[in-house]
Structure 1
Amino acid sequence: MRPLLLIVEGHGDEKAAPILVRKILEQHGHYDVILRPTQRRGEYPAVAKSFDNFFLAAIKERAPILWIMDFDAKGHDCPSLEAASLAGRAARLYPAWPIAFAFLVKEFETLFLHDEAATRSVFTDIPKQVVFPEQPERIRGAKEWLSEKRPKGMAYKESVHQQKIAAHLDIDLLRQKSGDFAHLERALLKLIDAEIPA
């Protein structure tokens, strides 16, 4: 069995990210990956500030690390540069440790706006005439968008709905429509074959 550690941003991600990762692994026929208990470390600015401590705590799990975060922090414009910076810090602390960063622009729920069918399967109360955005990454506040499209008093709740919609996501569709998702998938598949250094 191959171990993998997920590190995520928020409470909803703790349950939703493992569901999404398992869906990807199953589609590729990987049933021998054991997910370590997911760690929650907050938004990118907090992660960047305390990264060294977070990383040194994470490697105690003796598993490759897939770090999934939203990328909506003000003052940060390039996910690939930020990911490279964090990877460089990790390499200085523990060279060759397998770690990858998957930034979702602008947030995890952006994936839900890409997959209208999955979202409507859970939110059957979104009116049929509502048109989902063609470019969800341009929307700041996918959570708010979902809440606004539902009837009054029926807001999107991350801790309740995120894992439910994640369970319905169409992996093939997301791969085609979301560059962020495609990157996450590639990183995941590469990590599960990575060796842990002695």
Structure 2
Amino acid sequence: MTIPYPVIAPVVEGHGEEKALQGLLHRLVPHLREGAYADIQPAYRLPHDRMLKLEPLSQALTIVTARRPCPTAVLVLLDADDDCAVELATQIHSLARNSHAHVPLTAVVAVREFEAWFLAGRMGLPHDLAPPPNPEAIRGAKEWLSDRMPLGSTYRPPAHQPSFVQYFDLDAARHAAPSFDKLCREILRFLERPTAEREGEAL
């Protein structure tokens, strides 16, 4: 049996991203390449501190790569918070190579927070309020959003992330948030890989 399209298995750290990333990728794939399709599997949640440990990450990769159809790529998404995004991504890749060197995996690290992408894409803000000039420099993007949401509203990731990913400006976010541009480039790379691989040979 052949797979005529990419099959992407996400691994995320937060409850909000469990639903949000799948929705974002469904929207992003045809936006990046007209007419493109990818099978986006449900996200597997692995808390941030466990992502950075060999055994829990290995167990997560074993679980997601055992799915059917077999993923052609694994996407690990986490927040940098106060750490260096490049160093975190390198650490994830190094850990993954120890146990799953055969798995096509990429790690995308949102600089500061996932919510910085919403600020970059002008989502969750009153129409008369411009986003900060450098959204990824904001420490506490969740609180920044809460302070500027309509009166009586408080930003809550599990409630707002799945909705916000459907409406934020993808092109504006890609321009203003380099880590979101990194996500876009990785998805394009998944789409450009040969897809007519046998299911059992995909990973």
Question: What TM-score comes out, normalization by structure 1 length?
Answer: 0.84
Deviations along 1:110-165, whole A, 9 cap, x unmatched?
1111122x334xxxxx373x442111112111111111113453111212211211
In the alignment, structure 1 residue 173 sits paired with structure 2 residue 172: yes
CA deviation map 1:42-81 (0-9, x unaligned): 22x2211222222222221231101111111x5xx32222
Aligned to 2:21: 17
- In structure 2, distance between residues paired with 1:30 and 1:83: 30
Letter in 2 for 1:94: H
Aligned 8 A contact 1:67 1:102 in 2 = yes
Is there any run of 5+ residues in structure 1 with no aligned partner, and where?
121-125
**Within-5 A mapping of 1:145-160:** 145-160=144-159
Taking the aligned partners of 1:48 and 1:17, their CA distance within structure 2 comes to 20
Give runs of ≥4 in structure 1 deviating > 6 Å: none
Contact 1:144 1:156 in 2 (8 A): yes
Q: Distance in 2 between matches of 1:94 and 1:47?
A: 14
**Residue 137 of structure 2 aligns with which residue?**
138
Post-superposition shift, 1:40?
A: 1.1
Aligned twin of 1:187: 186
Whether contact under 8 Å (2:9, 2:75) holds in the other structure is yes
Secondary structure (helix, strand or coil) at the match of 1:6 reads strand
2:42 match: 37
The 3-state SS of whatever aligns with 1:24 is helix
Q: Quote the Cα distance in structure 2 between the aligned partners of 1:24 and 1:55.
A: 23
Paired positions, count: 187
Deviation at 1:167, TM superposition (A): 0.5
Following superposition, the deviation at residue 30 of structure 1 comes to: 4.9
Helix, strand or coil at the partner of 1:96: coil
Letter in 2 for 1:160: A
Q: 1:82 to 1:159 in 2, by over 3 A?
A: closer
Indicate the residue corresponding to 1:114 in structure 2. Answer: 120
TM-score by length of 2: 0.82
Q: Partners of 2:176 and 2:156 in 1: how far apart? A: 25
**CA distance, structure 2, for counterparts of residue 24 and residue 173 of structure 1:** 13
Give the CA RMSD over aligned residues.
Answer: 2.1
Identical residues among aligned pairs (%): 27
Structure 2 counterpart SS, 1:180: helix
Q: Which amino acid counterpart does residue 60 of structure 1 have in structure 2? A: A
**1:23/1:171 contact within 8 Å kept:** no
Alpha-carbon distance between aligned partners in 2 of 1:86 and 1:92, rounded to the nearest angstrom: 10
Aligned partner of 2:8 in structure 1 is 4
Structure 1 residues 31 and 127: alpha-carbon distance in aligned structure 2, compared to 1, 3 A threshold: closer
Task: Classify the secondary structure of the residue corresponding to 1:174.
Answer: helix
Q: What letter is aligned with 2:136? A: E
Letter in 2 for 1:150: M
Query: Cα 1:171–1:153, aligned 2, differ >3 Å: closer, same or farther?
Result: closer
1:82 Cα shift? Answer: 2.1
